[in-house]
Copies of this chain bind each other. A is one copy, B any other.
Amino acid sequence: MPQTLAELSDRLNVFRDERDWAQFQGLKNLIVSLNLESAELLELTQWKDDAAVERLIGDPGFRQKLEEETADVLLYLLMICERSGIDLAVAAAKKIDLNATKYPVDKSRGNSKKYTEL
C-alpha cells in the first residue's frame, strides 16, 4: 500500500501514461474535474440534515461511497499538483501554519467566525 502522497502521485503517473492521458489533463480540465468530484461528495448529503449525515457514517453503503468520492477528490488534487509542480504535503503543512496565525487560539476558540471578522 502506498503510504505517502508522493507514492500515490507516482502510481497515478504510471496509470496516466499507460493510457496516454497527459494530453487531456491540462490544469484547467483537472480543476474542473476536481469540482465535479467535490460535487459528488456533496450529493451524498442531498436532502439530509446534519444529524442524518452523521448517522450515515455507520452505514456500510454510505461509507463505501464516501471512501470512493474522497479518494477521487484526492486523486485529482494530486494530478493538479503534479501538473503544476506543487509539493502538496509541503503546501498543506505551510497552510496549517498560516491558518494558525490567521486564527489565534485566544480569538477563535469556540467560535466559527472567518478570520476577516475576528
Interface size range of chain A in the complex: 35 or more
Least distance between A48 CB and chain B CB atoms (Å):
7
Q: Give complex CA distance A73, B28 in Å.
A: 16
Contact check, A74 vs B92: say whether CB atoms are below 8 A apart.
yes
Q: Which of B2, B57, B91 contacts A85 (CB 8 A)?
A: B57
Chain A: interface secondary structure? helix
Least distance between A67 CB and chain B CB atoms (Å):
4
Contact check, B31 vs A35: say whether CB atoms are below 8 A apart.
no
Contact residues in B for A70 (Cβ distance below 8 Å): 77, 80-81, 86, 88, 91
Least distance between A52 CB and chain B CB atoms (Å):
8
Contact residues in B for A31 (Cβ distance below 8 Å): 41-42, 44-45, 53
